[in-house]
């Protein structure tokens, strides 16, 4: 997610701090057996020299190269840093290993990315980055946001599915769905506290995964590791069915089997269906609190 | 869409007829989604919901950004369409709201071929600034749009107040929809504020939360062992099958909830036809504090809107039960008219301040008969020098001459003698303003006790005349008090050396009523010095000038009706005029389409003067709508004509 949603006020770590942090993380892998997959999650872009200095980048990649257990490396980047130069460097330093670039596509709708997410690149930028990476046999993992603000529940559902299809058509190797969670000091939090935003229903996430899996080729992995699932700030349902459904989402991410999704028939399902319909026509945000004043008292 | 507003008003509430795909739907009416088949009027989101079979339906274009030509093209060409927007947010401020309206304008401009503006309903976000609304709505009007939807979040808090305030700024002839979370207890309020279509999707939303809605509240079915009794069809059939709460299915709850909305809507419509909708709205304020709060805000901030459409007469008793009535439009308008329009006859040397009576009109009550006796015998033949002012809550002050005027003759309040602070302050203010119109040498005889006396004391510092109190701790109708009043007046009669003379009660009633009805100066214009008056005080009074009748006072309504001659006398005041497009009125009505212009001060039921292009009087009659409506409407009866130039 971008600064608009996160208000990323965190301080930029220095080159040494980054390397130290990386070394600490790697030390946790001591004793683990290969093959391993390593994901470098940075708050923005690993390939942005302002964010990760070139010296730090080189030394981190060199360490990965020297570890024979590591088979796959996932690196996060914004599309504008996916250049031939950077791809050549990655290929050179990581050799034959499988490389995936995690890029926050968020939505394939320029309108939604601009208005609801406030990200400054177009779908066309994403496509070009993807083709540059593919030329170096580097895959793209598209991060797709489930329910940015200013969308109805059904807008969010349909947009996520459409984004996954568009991303697959462009040639991504993995689609990773990120249901929005309400983080501190963000616009989303302000809206959420006023009842103007509700994180996506778990039913929505399930439906997004099911419809995406049905329409995407098997070669594209679909994964989702929801943050704060079942909590008020994360994707959630009624509270009764949340644990089972969250577990089914995680299981699906491993097996890619649609039959692993869901498996619970909860009484909150008709409410969710009603909300899909009623939010579209009324544009009223169906937050948890005001929908049910009885339970509040 | 074709939307016609029909005859009749109760405040901004109106009755209309909406033609959707050649099917007529009377308004106000309810709307809900395809999953609630109990509701006839349906909205459905194009490309997302199943297309309903019903003809009475409105298509919804989904969120901005997902609109493409194919989607717009797929809508039937005779179907009405809710324009796309985004869920509103208070966090993004008024510029965002303006942008949402611009987006809707560009949808209309980009898809004009498939989507005629006359079929479009614009969505007004609550955060739109009033001035932006005023500048943007004409842009939509120009394209041919005449329907708008407002969001109600159901908390009846500041966001809902914004939507209500924006609704009040809509052109009169536009259709108004309330979409969102509307609880049953808000139905009378929304009808009162002139919403024509009200979303009851909440009926299903509540049911799926296991909530049974009631007119004044709700019931958590899941959490209660003993459920409330309900005679509705759905609940009866549930009880006949099984009567445990967990057997109360979602569909039963939806049916029940819809029934509650339907019954409140029909109660509201019937109340509006009977002129008692405001009373129903006031009664509903006891359903929640939020409800009471928003009505107070509405009275304060939207008074102009409420008053503009509130009829100047009414049938039957007008109950004013509690504080929610203190600033209702008929009450506040009466206070303001008396304060700004009433002018006391110049020869008065005494003002007797009296308490009101439970029975109306006052002079028919036992207490006022006693007061009249005491005043008559105290002053005797100097009677014509005494003015009477009746103190009352919440009308403030009623000059005796206006005791038959609406609503003074029909209001009904719980009378205990104990007044709250607001009542004391309202009446005190009215007294101070009223007495300031009399000469400083006039003596005020305050024959008041309890709350009435408190009001008098509250005004005292602002009263320049000398005040004599006559009750001395007793009730105003007690023997001692009445004797005190008689003695005081007798003494004053000597001190002021009041000379005997005739009492021009008929003239005073006519002039005061004319001023009240048509504004300052009307009394002198209509009832000049040399007019000949016939009739009984508070009965029927006829006024002739040079042998021609000018007007008649009708005691039953407390109002004047004009003849053509009277209309010519009033016309130069340039009030209550309706300019007719033509030089001769055909038939018994003037229709809005034939009104070129009208005094914006006209309210429904006002006596109005119909004039031609050269200000020549063409007729007189009774208005059927407000002056602004006469100008904005293209259809409907504007004036019922009583007399016209043949
Ligand atoms: Zn559930
Ligand atoms: Zn029932």
> What confidence tens digit (pLDDT) does each residue in B540-564 have?
999 999 999 999 999 999 999 999 9
Alpha-carbon torsion angle A2, A8, A11, A17, nearest 10: -40
Q: Which residues, 6 or more positions from B363, have their beta carbon under 8 angstroms from its beta carbon? A: B369, B372, B400, B403, B538
Per residue in B75-116, pLDDT tens?
Answer: 998 899 999 999 988 888 899 999 999 999 999 999 988 999
pLDDT score, position A11: 56
| Residue B209 alpha carbon to ligand 1 centre in Å | 11
- To probe the interface with B, which of A112, A237, A274 has the most B CB atoms within 10 Å? A274
**Secondary structure of residue A83 in the 3-state scheme:** coil
- Report the relative pairing of strands B637-644 and B589-591 from DSSP bridges: antiparallel
In this predicted complex, what is the ipTM? 0.91
Q: Residue A118: its pLDDT value, please?
A: 74
pLDDT at A63: 86
Nearest ligand for residue A243 CA: 1
Size of interface A-B (CB pairs under 8 A): 123
Collapsing DSSP to helix, strand or coil, B43 comes out as strand
C-alpha span between B610 and B608 (Å, rounded): 6
Distance set, CA B632 to CA B103, B173, B626 (Å)? 27, 7, 10
Print the SS3 string covering B536-557.
CCCCEEEEEECCEEEEEEECCC
**Enclosing H/E stretch for B464:** none
The whole-angstrom distance between A240's CA and the closest CA on chain B is 13
Among B101, B121, B112, smallest CA distance to B20 is for B121
The answer to whether B33 contacts A281, with C-beta atoms less than 8 Å apart, is yes
Second-level CATH architecture of B517-644: Roll (2.30)
Query: pTM (2 decimals)?
Result: 0.93
Instruction: Determine the pLDDT at residue A8.
Output: 35
* Rg from Cα positions in chain A: 20
**Interface contact flag, A191 B205, Cβ < 8 Å:** no
Taking CB atoms and an 8 Å limit, are A280 and B89 in contact across chains? no
Nearest to A109 by CA among A121, A128, A123: A123
Cα separation, B520 vs B341, in Å, equals 5
Q: What separation in Å is there between the alpha carbon of B233 and the centre of ligand 2?
A: 7
Residue A99 alpha carbon to ligand 2 centre in Å:
63
Strand (E) or helix (H) holding B333: helix B329-341
A149 contact residues in B (CB cutoff 8 A): 89
Do B476 and B362 form a contact (C-beta atoms < 8 A)? no
Q: Looking at the complex, report in whole angstroms how far the Cα of residue B86 sits from the nearest Cα belonging to chain A.
A: 6
State the Cα torsion B610-B614-B617-B622 to the nearest 10°. Answer: 10
Contact A196 B87 (CB under 8 A): yes
Residues of B with CB under 8 A from a CB of A: 33-35, 43-45, 48-49, 60, 62-66, 82, 85-91, 123, 151-155, 179-181, 199, 201, 204-205, 208-209, 211, 218-220, 223, 250
Angstroms from A294 CA to nearest CA on chain B = 6
Instruction: For residue A242, give the ligand nearest its CA.
Output: 1
B209 with A294: Cβ contact below 8 A? yes
Question: Average pLDDT for consecutive 10-residue bins of chain B (646 residues)?
Answer: 85 93 90 92 94 89 83 90 92 90 94 92 97 98 97 94 98 96 97 98 95 94 85 91 79 96 98 95 95 96 97 89 94 98 96 95 96 95 95 97 96 88 96 97 96 94 96 92 96 92 93 97 94 93 95 95 96 97 94 96 97 95 95 92 95
Fold (topology level) of B2-275 = TIM Barrel (3.20.20)
CA of A269 to the centre of ligand 1 (A): 6
Classify residue A15 by burial, with Cβ atoms within 10 Å: 0-12, 13-18, 19+. Answer: middle
Domain segments of chain B as ranges: 2-275, 318-495, 517-644
pLDDT at A2: 30
Instruction: Report yes or no: A51 at the B interface, CB cutoff 8 Å.
Output: no
Pick among A118, A282, A294 to test the B interface (most B CBs inside 10 A): A282
Q: Do B209 and A285 touch (CB under 8 A)?
A: no
- What pLDDT was estimated at residue B567? 97
B210-243 burial: b if 16+ Cβ within 10 Å, else e:
bbbbbbeebbbbeeeeebeebebebbeebeeeee
Confirm or reject contact between A191 and chain B (CB < 8 A): yes
Which of B34, B36, B91 has the most A C-beta neighbours within 10 Å, making it the best mutation to test the interface with A? B91
Contacts of B49 by beta carbon, 8 Å cutoff, 6+ apart: A277, A280, B33, B34
Task: Tell whether A295 is within 8 A of chain B (Cβ).
Answer: yes
Q: Which residues on chain B are in Cβ contact (under 8 Å) with A194?
A: 90-91
Give the model confidence (pLDDT) of A3-32 as tens digits. 333 333 345 667 787 788 888 888 887 877
Domains annotated for chain A, with CATH where assigned, are 4-295 (3.80.30.30)
Compute φ and ψ for A194, nearest 5 degrees: -95, 5
Q: Are A161 and A205 in contact (CB under 8 A)?
A: no
Interatomic CA distance for residues B55 and B491, integer angstroms: 80
Name every chain B residue with its beta carbon within 8 A of the beta carbon of A279.
87
Burial (0-12, 13-18, 19+ Cβ within 10 Å), B94? middle
Chain B CB contacts of A160 under 8 Å are: none
Residues of A in contact with B204 (CB under 8 A): 274, 278
CATH classification code of B318-495: 3.40.50.10630
Cβ distance of B204 and A274 shorter than 8 Å: yes
Residues of chain A under the 70 pLDDT cut: 1-13, 42-44, 291-297
Mean pLDDT, chain A, whole residue set = 88
Could A290 and B154 be called an inter-chain contact, meaning their C-beta atoms sit closer than 8 Å? yes
Distance from CA of A196 to the nearest CA of B (A): 6
């Amino acid at each position: 997610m971008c600064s608009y949603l996160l208000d990323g006020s965190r301080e930029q770590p220095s080159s040494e701090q980054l390397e130290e942090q990386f070394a600490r993380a790697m030390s946790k892998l001591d004793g683990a057996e290969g093959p391993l997959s390593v994901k470098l999650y940075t708050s923005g872009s690993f390939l942005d020299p302002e964010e990760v200095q070139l010296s730090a980048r080189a030394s981190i990649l060199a360490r990965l190269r020297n570890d024979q257990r590591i088979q796959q490396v996932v690196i996060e980047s914004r599309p504008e840093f996916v250049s031939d130069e950077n791809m050549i460097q990655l290929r050179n330093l990581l050799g034959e290993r499988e490389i995936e670039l995690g890029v926050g596509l968020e939505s394939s709708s320029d309108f939604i990315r601009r208005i609801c997410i406030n990200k400054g690149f177009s779908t066309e930028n994403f496509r070009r980055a993807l083709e540059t990476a593919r030329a170096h046999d580097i895959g793209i993992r598209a991060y797709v946001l489930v329910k940015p603000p200013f969308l109805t529940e059904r807008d969010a559902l349909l947009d996520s599915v459409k984004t996954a299809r568009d991303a697959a058509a462009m040639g991504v190797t993995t689609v990773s769905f990120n249901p929005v969670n309400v983080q501190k000091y963000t616009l989303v939090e302000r809206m959420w506290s006023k009842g103007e935003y509700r994180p996506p229903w778990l039913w929505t996430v399930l439906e997004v995964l099911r419809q995406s899996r049905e329409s995407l080729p098997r070669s594209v992995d679909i994964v989702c590791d929801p943050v704060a699932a079942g909590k008020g700030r994360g994707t959630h349902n009624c509270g009764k069915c949340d644990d089972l459904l969250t577990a089914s989402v995680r299981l699906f991410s491993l097996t890619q089997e649609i039959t692993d999704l869901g498996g619970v028939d909860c009484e909150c399902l008709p409410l969710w269906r009603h909300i899909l319909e009623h939010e579209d026509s009324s544009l009223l945000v169906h937050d948890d609190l005001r929908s049910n004043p009885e339970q509040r008292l | 869409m074709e939307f016609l507003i029909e005859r009749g008003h109760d405040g901004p509430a109106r009755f209309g007829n909406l033609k959707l795909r050649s099917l007529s739907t009377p308004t106000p009416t309810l709307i809900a989604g395809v999953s609630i088949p109990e509701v006839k009027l349906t909205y459905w989101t194009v490309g997302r919901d199943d297309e309903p079979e019903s003809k009475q339906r409105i298509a919804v274009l989904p969120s901005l950004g997902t609109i493409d030509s194919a989607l717009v093209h797929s809508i039937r060409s005779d179907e009405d369409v809710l324009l796309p927007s985004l869920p509103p947010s208070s966090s993004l401020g008024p510029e965002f709201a303006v942008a949402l309206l611009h987006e809707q304008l560009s949808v209309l401009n980009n898809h004009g071929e498939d989507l005629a503006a006359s079929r479009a309903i614009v969505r007004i976000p609550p955060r739109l600034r009033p001035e932006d609304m005023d500048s943007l709505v004409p842009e939509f009007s120009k394209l041919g749009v005449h329907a708008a939807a407002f969001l109600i979040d159901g908390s009846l808090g500041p966001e809902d107040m914004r939507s209500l305030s924006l609704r009040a700024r809509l052109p009169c002839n536009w259709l108004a929809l309330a979409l969102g979370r509307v609880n049953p207890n808000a139905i009378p309020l929304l009808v009162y504020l002139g919403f024509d279509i009200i979303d009851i999707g909440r009926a299903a939303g509540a049911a799926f939360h296991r909530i049974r809605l009631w007119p004044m509240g709700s019931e958590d079915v899941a959490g209660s062992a003993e459920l409330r009794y309900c005679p509705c069809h759905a609940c009866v059939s549930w009880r006949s099958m099984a009567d445990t709460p967990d057997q109360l299915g979602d569909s039963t709850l939806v049916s029940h909830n819809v029934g509650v909305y339907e019954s409140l809507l029909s109660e509201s419509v019937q109340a509006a036809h009977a002129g008692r909708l405001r009373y129903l709205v006031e009664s509903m304020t006891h359903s929640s504090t939020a409800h009471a709060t928003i009505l107070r805000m509405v009275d304060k901030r939207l008074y102009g809107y409420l008053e503009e459409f509130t009829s100047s007469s009414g049938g039957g008793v007008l109950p004013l039960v509690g504080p929610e009535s203190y600033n209702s439009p008929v009450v506040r308008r009466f206070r303001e008219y008396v304060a700004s329009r009433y002018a006391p006859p110049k020869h008065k040397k005494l003002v007797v301040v009296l308490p009101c009576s439970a029975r109306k009109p006052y002079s028919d009550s036992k207490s006022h008969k006693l007061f009249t006796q005491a005043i008559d015998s105290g002053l005797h033949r100097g009677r014509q020098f005494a003015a009477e002012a009746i103190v009352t809550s919440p009308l403030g002050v009623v000059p005796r001459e206006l005791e038959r005027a609406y609503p003074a003759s029909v209001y009904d309040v719980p009378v205990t003698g104990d007044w709250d602070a607001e009542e004391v302050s309202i009446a005190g203010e009215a007294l101070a303003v009223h007495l300031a119109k009399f000469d400083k040498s006039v003596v005020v005889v305050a024959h008041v006790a309890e709350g009435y006396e408190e009001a008098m004391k509250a005004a005292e510092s602002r009263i320049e005349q000398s005040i004599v109190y006559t009750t001395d701790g007793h009730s105003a109708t007690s023997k001692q008090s009445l004797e005190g009043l008689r003695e005081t007046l007798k003494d004053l009669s000597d001190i002021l050396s009041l000379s005997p003379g005739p009492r021009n009660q008929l003239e005073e009633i006519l002039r005061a009523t004319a001023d009240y009805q048509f504004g300052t100066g009307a009394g002198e214009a209509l009832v000049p010095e040399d007019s000949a008056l016939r009739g009984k005080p508070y009965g029927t009074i006829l006024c002739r000038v040079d042998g021609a009748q000018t007007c008649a006072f009708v005691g039953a309504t407390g109002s004047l009706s004009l003849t053509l001659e009277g209309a010519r006398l009033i016309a130069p005041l340039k009030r209550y005029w309706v300019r007719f497009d033509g030089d001769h009125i055909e038939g018994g009505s003037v229709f809005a389409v034939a009104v070129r212009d009208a005094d914006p001060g006209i309210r429904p039921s006002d006596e109005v003067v119909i004039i031609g292009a050269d200000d020549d009087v063409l007729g007189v009659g009774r208005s059927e709508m407000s002056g602004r409506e006469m100008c904005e409407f293209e259809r409907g009866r504007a004036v019922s004509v009583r007399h016209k130039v043949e």
